[in-house]
A and B are shown apart, each in its own frame.
Chain A
């Protein structure tokens, strides 16, 4: 599926040092015992997946190294002609999008007037959201305005989406317009 030629440009010609070291490791008498003994090469058995940076609009390629169900390293994708393996500080830190302890991991609900979040399951959340959407749409839907068909609701807004994937923005644009939402904006302006 993903054609990759990993780390091609990153390799340094260490006058045969690489080949030698690797060979020695294979034979089991690595002269650098300290490292071999205590520490496996960090990305040795990781899975590598290419992605595109989620921050600014330059579109740099990033490789995500995953191992034991976590992200162990992120670095520039050397094959991507946009950044040729280079990254800024934000792109380099992509790993912590996964590992940050601040990530939301459960749907949270805040009742009117309440001062706290409550954990809820997805089904309940989406059912309730759908219910609210329908209530508001039904109570505010305008079919005709000054004799012309307008089919809209001016009581629901949708904001954001500049960080979504194209496919997501497409479905969002379609769903919102399908519901008659006219307050439809993303972050191009801010």
Chain B
């Protein structure tokens, strides 16, 4: 099945933030007022109610020139998604488009995905049920998978007026990124394509004007080693151990019945009588 990619060329972005409200509008997300952050940026990072945030960065490049950089930041939809790996409820899954989605019916709000996302894009939201009892659900960008299913593009891409965002098959988008990179290398010598292989590549692919660290992105993100140790080793082994112990005891019970007949039945009874 063809995989799709949201291709973000940050050098074309003019920071209008239509993507932020388009997302809220389509997904019916409430506003989330914040304190003044000292720049034009509205939120420090993505949250459960703000699935994409426009970053504004003032960066002095190697030549001492000022660069005013913008980045639409949202879920990367990793090919090897740590969130999917650690979710204990199988609430997180890959879609046929390549997006990674959270099934809200299955999510129990444990927050494992929140802590393990290498990009820190997932957050928990607290709700109140009709009895006033609180419960939590994990949220992040869905890549508008509901729109994809109807043949529409993600809301953020649809509204982007500078062409900084495009949506299409991976085969079509990656060469575009390559081509764009060669065009902008003159102006941005540190420009790079951000499609980190440590997580198997992502379905949000960036052309960045500067090194990933300038945008606060990990240079080489991976599924955390702890998550691998935990999910690929500890948990299966743990389950096996539990199984083995149980089997051993079942065995013990049976053999006791078989071989320990003459045994200490009276004394057992005696012991029991003291309860």
**A and B: direct contact (Cβ < 8 Å)?**
yes
With A34-B103, A76-B159 known as contacts, the answer to whether A10 contacts B153 (CB < 8 A) is yes
Q: What residues of B have a CB within 8 angstroms of the CB of A124 in the complex?
A: none
Max count, chain B CB within 10 A of own CB: residue among A7, A11, A88: A88
With A34-B105, A75-B159, A86-B160 known as contacts, the answer to whether A12 contacts B152 (CB < 8 A) is yes
Q: What residues of A have a CB within 8 angstroms of the CB of B2 in the complex?
A: 14-15
Whether A93 pairs with B25 at a CB distance below 8 angstroms is yes
How far is the CB of A94 from the nearest CB of chain B, in Å? 9
Counting CB contacts under 8 A, is A92 at the interface?
yes
Q: CB within 8 Å of A: which of B119-173?
A: 145-146, 148-153, 155, 158-161, 167-169
Q: What residues of B have a CB within 8 angstroms of the CB of A103 in the complex?
A: none
Max count, chain A CB within 10 A of own CB: residue among B18, B150, B168: B150
Whether B25 pairs with A14 at a CB distance below 8 angstroms is no
Partner-contacting stretch, out of A36-44, A137-145, A166-174: A36-44
In whole angstroms, what is the CA distance A10 to B97 when docked? 17
Whether A88 pairs with B161 at a CB distance below 8 angstroms is yes
In whole angstroms, what is the CA distance A17 to B148 when docked? 9
How far is the CB of B19 from the nearest CB of chain A, in Å? 9
Whether A88 pairs with B16 at a CB distance below 8 angstroms is yes
Whether A92 pairs with B146 at a CB distance below 8 angstroms is no
Whether A21 pairs with B22 at a CB distance below 8 angstroms is no
Q: B6-34: contact bitstring with A at CB < 8 Å (1 yes, 0 no)? A: 00000000001110111001100000000
- Which of A32, A38, A92 is close to B149, meaning CB atoms less than 8 Å apart? A32
How far is the CB of A47 from the nearest CB of chain B, in Å? 17
With A12-B167, A15-B2, A88-B18 known as contacts, the answer to whether A75 contacts B149 (CB < 8 A) is no
In whole angstroms, what is the CA distance A48 to B105 when docked? 31
Interface residues on B, range: 20 to 34
Q: A86-101: contact bitstring with B at CB < 8 Å (1 yes, 0 no)? A: 1111011101000000
Q: A79-123: contact bitstring with B at CB < 8 Å (1 yes, 0 no)? A: 000010111110111010000000000000000000000000000
Whether B149 pairs with A10 at a CB distance below 8 angstroms is no
In whole angstroms, what is the CA distance A22 to B20 when docked? 29
Whether A75 pairs with B18 at a CB distance below 8 angstroms is no
Chain B interface mostly: mixed
Chain B residue at minimal CB-CB distance from A94? B25
Chain A contact residue count (CB 8 A cutoff): 31
How far is the CB of B259 from the nearest CB of chain A, in Å? 54
Q: CB within 8 Å of B: which of A1-40?
A: 7, 10-12, 14-15, 17-18, 21-22, 32, 34-35, 38-39
With A10-B153, A21-B150, A38-B105 known as contacts, the answer to whether A76 contacts B158 (CB < 8 A) is yes
Counting CB contacts under 8 A, is A153 at the interface?
no
Q: What residues of B have a CB within 8 angstroms of the CB of A42 in the complex?
A: 26, 146
Whether B167 pairs with A92 at a CB distance below 8 angstroms is no
Q: What residues of A have a CB within 8 angstroms of the CB of B4 in the complex?
A: 14
Chain A residue at minimal CB-CB distance from B15? A89
With A76-B159, A87-B159 known as contacts, the answer to whether A18 contacts B151 (CB < 8 A) is yes
In whole angstroms, what is the CA distance A18 to B96 when docked? 13
- Which of A32, A91, A95 is close to B18, meaning CB atoms less than 8 Å apart? A91
Whether A85 pairs with B158 at a CB distance below 8 angstroms is yes
- Which of B20, B146, B160, B168 is close to A12, meaning CB atoms less than 8 Å apart? B168
With A10-B152, A12-B151 known as contacts, the answer to whether A89 contacts B21 (CB < 8 A) is yes
Whether A92 pairs with B161 at a CB distance below 8 angstroms is no
Whether A95 pairs with B148 at a CB distance below 8 angstroms is no
In whole angstroms, what is the CA distance A39 to B146 when docked? 9
Whether B151 pairs with A11 at a CB distance below 8 angstroms is yes
Q: What residues of B have a CB within 8 angstroms of the CB of A22 in the complex?
A: 150
Whether A12 pairs with B153 at a CB distance below 8 angstroms is yes
In the complex, 10 of the A-B residue pairs with CB atoms within 8 angstroms, ordered by the A residue number, are A14-B148, A18-B151, A21-B149, A41-B146, A87-B18, A88-B161, A89-B17, A91-B18, A92-B22, A92-B159
The 6 closest A-B pairs by CB, nearest first: A18-B151, A86-B161, A89-B17, A92-B21, A89-B18, A88-B16
Given A11-B152, A89-B17, 8 extra CB contacts under 8 A: A7-B152, A10-B152, A10-B153, A10-B158, A15-B169, A21-B149, A35-B146, A42-B146
